[in-house]
Amino acid sequence: AGIINFCANNYLGLSSHPEVIRAAVEALEKFGAGLSSVRFICGTQSIHKDLEEKIARFHQREDAILYASCFDANAGIFEALLTPEDAVLSDELNHASIIDGIRLCKANKYRYKHMDMQDLEAKLKEAQKHRLRLVATDGAFSMDGDIAPLREICQLAQKYDALVFIDECHATGFLGPSGRGTDELLGVMDKVTIINSTLGKALGGAAGGYTTGPKPLIDLLRQRSRPYLFSNSLPPAVVGCASKALDLLMESNAIAQSMAAKTQRFRSKMAAAGFTISGKDHPICPVMLGDARLASVMAEDMLNRGIYVIGFSYPVVPKGKARIRVQISAVHSDEDIDRCVEAFTEVGRKHGAL
C-alpha cells in the first residue's frame, strides 16, 4: 500500500488505461482466448492483419509482421536476411536479444565500440568486401538511457552502402515529436530501413513484438523467420490492447508529452540535489552510484520509503558502474516525482552518496 512503482517499462501508463483494458476484454470475448496455432496455419484473424497495418502506418513504413515478443523478432530477423556472404555491424552494448539474433546468423560479425562513429567507420571499411552490410543498434539503450547517434550512423551507412536496423523497444510511443521513436527524434525516418520493437513496454505492456520496414523484407520474414513460422499467434486480448494503445497515440501526443515533462522534472530535481543521472531527456534515468552494495542498500531503503526501484550491478552493467535505474511514466503525478526525489535525497545522505 502506498508504494509507487518507478522501475516498470510502462512509460505511457497504458497498461492500466481503461480504454486499453476494455479493448482487451472485447477482443477476448469476440475473438477467443487464443488461436492454438501459428499464423500461417489457422492463427491469423482480421485483428492480426489490422494491427500489422496499424504498426506500419504508425512508423510510416510499408508493412509489418507480428511476433510473440521483440526477443523473437530479434531472433528471427538476422538469420532470415543475412547469408555467409554478408556482414552485420553491431554496437557492443546492444540488447541481449540482438546479440543472440546475430549469433544465430551466418553473416560475418563486427562489433563496434558503443556509439563510437570512428570505430563504426573503420568496421564499415573493413566490411566493404562483403555482399551486404547491416548496421544494428538499439535506438535508446536501456541501461544508460542514452540515444544512438542515428544521424551519423545513417550518414556512414549511406557512404558505405549499408542498411540500418534499430531496436526501438525503449523509444516507440514516446520519443520524437509524435512519439514515432528515435528515427523521428533525429529526423532520419526515411533512412532507417528496419525497425524492431515491442508491444510489451509503452504500447500497453502486455506482450508481443514486431518488425516493420519494406514490404519485400516483411514478405521474406513471413516465409523464413523461424520464431514467426514455429511459434503461436499473439492472443486476441494482447492484440486488442496494442491496437487500442496505437489508436490513442495516433489520436494525440498528450500522454507522451506529459511523460517528457515529468522526466524533465525528475532529472533536473535530482541533478539539483547532487545526483548524477546518466543519459539525456530519456525516461530511463539511471542514478549513478558506482558501488554495487550501495546501489542495493539504497534501493532497499527506498522501498521502505514507499518507492519501488531496483539496483543494477555487475554483470548487468560494467564493474564499478552500479546504479539505481529509475523509469518515469506518464502515470506518475508531479507529487510522486517529488516524493521520489525526496526519498533519494534522504537515503543518499544516510548512505553517504551525496
- Contacts with ligand PLP by CB under 6 A lie at 69-71, 74, 95, 97, 138, 142, 167, 169-170, 198, 200, 209
Question: Residue 195 CB, nearest distance to ligand PLP (Å)?
Answer: 12
Catalytic residue among 201, 244, 282, 332: 201
Smaller CB separation from ligand PLP, 31 or 67: 67
Question: Residue 263 CB, nearest distance to ligand PLP (Å)?
Answer: 18
Give catalytic status of residue 201 as yes or no: yes
> Cα–Cα–Cα angle for 39, 107, 132, nearest 5°?
95
Catalytic residue among 17, 123, 170, 321: 170
Q: How, if at all, do strands 322-327 and 284-290 pair?
A: antiparallel
Q: Examine residue 315 and say whether the peptide bond preceding it is cis (omega within 30 degrees of 0).
A: yes
State how far the Cα of 9 lies from the Cα of 352, in Å rounded to an integer.
Answer: 29
Q: Three cell numbers at 34?
A: 487464443
Smaller CB separation from ligand PLP, 284 or 324: 284
Query: What is the Cα 6 distance to its own chain's centre?
Result: 17
State how far the Cα of 63 lies from the Cα of 79, in Å rounded to an integer.
Answer: 19
State how far the Cα of 74 lies from the Cα of 99, in Å rounded to an integer.
Answer: 9
Smaller CB separation from ligand PLP, 70 or 260: 70
Give catalytic status of residue 36 as yes or no: no
Coil vs helix vs strand at 259:
helix
Coil vs helix vs strand at 17:
coil
Give catalytic status of residue 123 as yes or no: no
How many helices, marked H, and strands, marked E, lie in the chain? 13, 12
Catalytic residue among 15, 142, 278, 329: 142
Cβ–Cβ under 8 Å, residues 35 and 228: no
Select the residue whose beta carbon is closest to ligand PLP and give its number. 69
Cell 489490422, residue located = 50
Question: Residue 9 CB, nearest distance to ligand PLP (Å)?
Answer: 7
Smaller CB separation from ligand PLP, 45 or 97: 97
Question: Residue 165 CB, nearest distance to ligand PLP (Å)?
Answer: 12
Question: Residue 196 CB, nearest distance to ligand PLP (Å)?
Answer: 7
Smaller CB separation from ligand PLP, 74 or 193: 74
Residues 6+ apart with CB under 8 A from 54: 243, 246, 247, 250
Cβ–Cβ under 8 Å, residues 133 and 90: no
Smaller CB separation from ligand PLP, 69 or 231: 69
Taking the chain, what is the end-to-end CA distance rounded to the nearest angstrom? 29
Question: Residue 200 CB, nearest distance to ligand PLP (Å)?
Answer: 4
CA distances from 352 to 7, 289, 349 (A): 23, 10, 5
Cβ–Cβ under 8 Å, residues 303 and 5: no
Cβ–Cβ under 8 Å, residues 255 and 286: no
Cβ–Cβ under 8 Å, residues 233 and 226: no
Smaller CB separation from ligand PLP, 74 or 345: 74
**Residues with active-site annotation:** 142, 170, 201
